[in-house]
Chains A and B, each alone.
Chain A
Amino acid sequence: MKLSIYRYDPDKDARPYMQDYEVKLEPSDRMLLDALVKAKAQDDTLAFRRSCREGVCGSDAFNINGKNQLACITKLADLPEHVSVRPLPGLPVIRDLIVDMTQFFKQYHSIKPYVINNDPPPERERLQSPEEREELNGLYECILCACCSTACPSFWWNPDKFVGPAGLLQAYRFLADSRDQAASERLDNLEDPYRLFRCHTIMNCVDVCPKGLNPTKAINNIKEMLVKRAV
């Protein structure tokens, strides 16, 4: 198969360019990551992140034929013969397919991604009913690969101010948690024309999420909570 891969080394290259690789696939090669590893074996200057190779760590998110996906769970069988791989859009490129995720994680940290509970901890654990636990399904599975936030134009234009779909999904994950006591502070923190209301519901995030999650729905749930609090 033919791979066109985005190459850029800021120390050497004046500008990014696409480099073609001809990769011979073995029957055991199932996912795009296998092909990328083969390309790297041909040319060890090629740089990309990868770790768990099974869609859990979120390291190998790239823009694959125009859509943000995880290379390790993108089946070669579903791809055409010629595949172009670019870094996630909207984030600064460190080298080749490696992007600087600082801005993304700054936004993630800004929503305080941990349970806030000021009661003395019980002897064993803070229990939830099965119904309360059910609320977290579709929220806790996020692996922070940044496919969604870097597919979102609002995040491209205002990455410093807009929390982005990944951060807002996580914000709702803690708003929905029965053990958390800081819902009001969390809503105060989000009630902002930039932090939350840059979302214009175009749903690119839902389209690309490799885990099949729905950040738009989570964002609407946050808005609904704000409405309930206000009216």
Chain B
Amino acid sequence: MVKRLVVGAHYGLRDWLAQRITALIMALYSIVIGVVLITGVPVSYAVWKDFFAQGWVRIATLIFAASLAWHAWVGARDILMDYIKHDGLRLALEVVTVLLLATYLGWAIEILWR
């Protein structure tokens, strides 16, 4: 069988843009949490628990976790596209990556609203 090379999937811009935007969101969240941790010393279990009991902290952390998952998905898929030549293996690894990241995200939600 002659293997024909096909390109022209017409996507990629959204992922590239999303990776940049999610990076900004994560940077912003990291700064806010960093400031809170520095100003809120000493950090005890009670302080930590009260802090994460607040609605805005939970929502912000959820957005952070979702950004991280999306960002990691684009990055991990880039690595797979770069190095894995076998199409079937690449698809399988991409599915594993999605499942893994979805699990982490679900786990994060479970922890936040425990």
Contacts and interface: CB of A to CB of B under 8 A. Distances in A.
A135 interface: no
Interface stretch (A15-23, A126-134, A196-204): A196-204
Contacts of A160: 5
Contacts of A191: 10-13
Could you say which interface size class chain B belongs to?
10 to 19
A14 interface: no
Contact of A200 (B10, B17, B78, B83): B78
Interface string A23-50: 0000000000000000000000000000
B82 A158 contact: yes
A184 to B, nearest CB: 13
B9 interface: yes
Interface in B27-55: none
Nearest to A193: B12
B81 interface: yes
Given A157-B83, A200-B78, A192 B16 contact: no
A222 to B, nearest CB: 10
The dominant DSSP class at the A interface is loop
Interface residues of A, number: 21
Nearest to B17: A227
B82 A157 contact: yes
Contact of A196 (B5, B12, B17, B82): B12
B5 A192 contact: no
Contacts of A198: 81-82
Contacts of B1: none
Given A157-B82, A161-B7, A192-B7, A197 B12 contact: yes
A90 to B, nearest CB: 14
A52 interface: no
Given A157-B82, A200-B78, A194 B16 contact: no
A188 interface: yes
A136 B26 CA distance: 37
B13 A226 contact: yes
Interface of B: 5, 7-17, 78, 81-83
30 contacts: A153-B82, A154-B82, A157-B82, A157-B83, A158-B82, A161-B5, A161-B7, A191-B11, A191-B12, A191-B13, A192-B7, A192-B10, A193-B9, A193-B12, A193-B15, A194-B9, A194-B81, A196-B12, A197-B12, A197-B13, A197-B15, A197-B16, A197-B78, A198-B82, A223-B13, A223-B16, A226-B13, A227-B17, A230-B13, A230-B17
Given A161-B7, A188-B10, A193-B15, 11 more contacts: A158-B81, A189-B8, A191-B12, A194-B7, A194-B81, A196-B12, A198-B82, A226-B13, A227-B17, A230-B14, A230-B17
Q: Which 7 A-B pairs have the closest CB atoms?
A: A197-B12, A193-B12, A226-B13, A157-B82, A161-B7, A194-B7, A192-B9
Interface of A: 153-154, 157-158, 160-161, 188-189, 191-198, 200, 223, 226-227, 230
